[in-house]
Amino acid sequence: MPGVESPPPEAGGDRTAARTRASALVSAGILLSRISGLVRERVFAHFFGASPVADAWKAALRLPNLIQNLLGEGTLSASFIPIYAELLEEGREREAARFAGAVLGLLTLTAGLMALLGILLAPWLVGFFFYGFDPERQALTVELVRILFPMTALLVLSAWALGILNSHRRFFLAYVAPVAWNAAMIIAMAVGGLAWEMDPVQLVRLLAWGALAGGGLQFLVQLPLVLQLLTEFRPVVSTRVEGVREAIRNFLPVVAARGAVNLGGWLDYALAAFLATGAVATLAYAQILFMLPISLFGMAVAASELPEISRNRRAAGEVLAGEVTQAGERVAYWLVPSTVGYLLLGDVVVAAVFETGAFGADEVMVTWVILGAYALGMGASATSRLLSSAFYALRDTRTPARVAYLRVSLALVLGAALMFPLDRFRVGVLGLGAAGLALGSAVAAWVELGLLRRNLREKLGRELTLAGPGLFRMMGAGLAAGAVGLGLHLALPPMHPWLVALGTLVPFAGVYLLLTRVLGVSGPLDRLLRR
């Protein structure tokens, strides 16, 4: 897909416009992959709802993520891309290819061994982390985990390919590749549930095999372009290749931090397993929607900025501080309305995406409450990803790691304290305890952002204004647009969730875009279109 990629900034003139185009390509790829993910989740909700089988699947999908979280995109972004991009910037393509081959060899060996270990230890892992499950749910979770561990090993290889493509500014393919993974699962559920009329337990087993096949497809669709970009490429298992030992040194703090984050995610699900039935599933549904704006805007900007700041890391602190501030403005422009929309119109979003079959009105309400709690920390979570990328580009992986330990610990303590009191409140048979875990996460996200900002300010020797002077105008426009959307929602008669979403969310978005322009806030989309 070379024809849809962004040219180098030097060829495009203005660097800000080039970076806007780059983040737009990342956003476009993520948008398509997330849309396919939402379709997947809607199909899943139709067949499984918030049932015990849904709990087992969500738990099983979480456990093998250990491999992907420790070795996947975020970790490679911190340790691999800065070194590889700098080698490219220096014109050392041969050394860059040898470095990429050595990293691939080490990743393949490590991910394969971890997948094998996960298969062998599955009963003990499930028994420990999901002790609150009854024996039937535990047994099913073990079956699924043993299929999904190899899947995550394949997704690690896909993350390596993403690092290569990002460093060459080929952003779109890397982020649209997960469509293949989602499509494989959608096909598995459609065939098993509609054509073969499987019962839920049989269907979820077929879904796991579809996920394994999709993991392989996600890697394979990127491989041809990756091989085209690499010269003299040969996978090896060696630490003697130039750059590998530095990458490992940068890798270890991030792995430790990712391990803490992954453990925190496991413990969130483990704690939710002690709540009312359906808590694990509704927590997972809310997390999918919570991560959508963060992925589209926070991760997109962070991913496009990382290679550029890495190339420019020796510039003056004032220059780098300005680059981070501009990137923060692009994040805030989209995260402000996303936060307002989830808080005021989250039930509309949840119903439009998930309400079908076994997912009814009670599930919509509980998922909205959890989503609203998460949304309180959404802006902080997205901006923290940008600041972490700035640290990674400056070859400092330890500071974000230390802050991550504190965030995870604080989120777990607060979440555990809040979940049981909130679980006394019920919507039908479903409890609201998972909202306590989400609130703990939101508070911890703001603490993380404050610490990262302070440390980066000290490192650069310059003040950091993360969203620029337009933040309050964005917030005013967001609240006014939210009021319009909420008023329309209350005025509309009962109708299909998709029609309600069309009648409320589209005017909400239109009013926000109009008001920001009237108030003099130039959004990234405006700049891109003018360019």
- Asked whether the beta carbons of 296 and 441 are under 8 A apart, the reply is no
**pLDDT value, residue 38:** 87
Asked if residue 529 is part of any domain, the answer here is no
Q: What is the SS3 assignment for 315? A: coil
Would you say residue 428 lies in a domain? yes
At residue 242, the 3 state secondary structure works out as: coil
Q: Do you know the residue count of the chain?
A: 531
Q: What is the structure's pLDDT at 72? A: 58
Q: Among 465, 482, 505, identify where a domain stops.
A: 465
SS3 of 120-148: the string is HHHHHHHHHHCCCCCHHHHHHHHHHHHHH
Residue 481 within any structural domain of the chain: no
8 A C-beta contact, residue 269 and residue 434: no
DSSP SS3 for 312: coil
Q: Are residues 165 and 303 in the same domain?
A: no
Confirm whether 76 is domain-assigned. yes
Closest CA to 274 of 412, 434, 142, 139: 434
What pLDDT, on a 0 to 100 scale, did the predictor assign at position 254? 67
Cα separation, 252 vs 232, whole angstroms: 28
User: 313: which DSSP letter?
Assistant: T
Residue 499 inside a domain? The answer is no
223 shares its domain with 348: no
C-alpha distances in angstroms, 378 versus 16, 146, 371? Answer: 25, 33, 10
Distance CA 118, CA 141 (A): 13
Q: How many domains does the chain have?
A: 2
In this structure, are 111 and 29 located in the same domain? Answer: yes
Give domain status of residue 505, yes or no.
Answer: no
Indicate whether 299 and 332 sit together in one domain.
yes
**Residue 5: per-residue pLDDT:** 42
- Dist. CA 289–CA 296, nearest whole Å: 11
Q: Are residues 237 and 337 in the same domain?
A: no
Same domain, 203 and 350: no
217 and 290 share one domain: no
Enter the DSSP assignment of 4: G
Answer yes or no: is 472 within a domain: no
Q: Note whether 258 and 326 are same-domain residues.
A: no
Distance of CA 400 to the CA centre of its chain: 17
**What kind and span of H or E run contains 296?**
none
User: What one-character DSSP code corresponds to residue 462?
Assistant: S
Distance CA 435, CA 431 (A): 9
Q: Is the pTM of this model over 0.85?
A: no
Same domain, 139 and 230: yes
Residue where a domain stops, chosen among 416, 445, 465: 465
What tens-digit pLDDT sequence spans the chain (531 residues)?
A: 333 344 444 444 455 566 667 667 777 887 888 889 989 988 999 999 888 999 999 889 888 876 666 665 556 666 777 788 888 878 888 888 999 999 899 889 988 998 999 999 999 989 988 888 889 999 999 999 999 999 988 998 998 998 888 888 888 888 899 999 999 999 999 999 998 989 999 999 999 999 999 999 999 999 999 999 887 778 888 888 888 888 888 777 766 666 666 667 777 888 888 888 888 889 989 998 998 888 877 776 766 666 666 555 555 456 667 777 777 788 889 899 999 999 999 999 999 999 988 888 999 999 999 999 999 999 998 888 888 877 877 778 788 888 988 998 999 999 999 999 999 998 888 899 999 999 999 999 999 999 998 888 888 777 777 766 778 899 999 999 999 999 999 999 989 999 999 999 999 999 999 999 888 886 555 554 454
In the three-class reduction of DSSP (H, G, I as helix; E, B as strand; rest coil), residue 431 is classed as strand
Range of the domain at 20: 1-262
Asked if residue 505 lies in contact with residue 349, where contact means CB atoms within 8 angstroms, the answer is yes
For residues 119 and 105, give the distance between their C-alpha atoms in angstroms, rounded to a whole number: 21
Q: Does a structural domain hold residue 487?
A: no
DSSP string, 321-349: HHHHHHHHHHHHHHHHHHHHHHHHHHHHH
Same domain, 298 and 163: no
Q: Looking at this protein, which amino acid is placed at residue 378?
A: M
Residue-wise DSSP of 55-104: HHHHHHHHTTHHHHHHHSHHHHHHHTHHHHHHHHHTT-HHHHHHHHHHHH
**Which residues 6+ apart lie within 8 Å of 123 measured at CB?**
142
367 with 247, same domain? no
Using alpha carbons, select from 33, 24, 512 the residue that is nearest to residue 291.
33
Q: How far apart are CA 46 and CA 38, in angstroms?
A: 12
Structure tokens at 145: 């985990």
**Cβ–Cβ contacts within 10 Å for residue 520, how many?**
9
> For residues 310 and 169, is the Cβ–Cβ distance under 8 A?
no
Contact of 200 with 51, CB cutoff 8 Å: yes
426-427 vs 430-431, strand pairing mode: antiparallel
Does one domain contain both 301 and 251? Answer: no
Q: Which residue, of 465, 500, 522, is where some domain finishes?
A: 465
Q: In a 10 Å sphere around its CB, with 0-12 CB exposed, 13-18 middle and 19+ buried, how is residue 295 labelled?
A: buried
* Structure tokens, 438: 């989400």
Sequence-distant (≥ 6) Cβ neighbours of residue 73 within 8 angstroms: 159, 162, 163
Spell out the residues 6+ positions from residue 506 whose beta carbon is closer than 8 angstroms to its own.
none
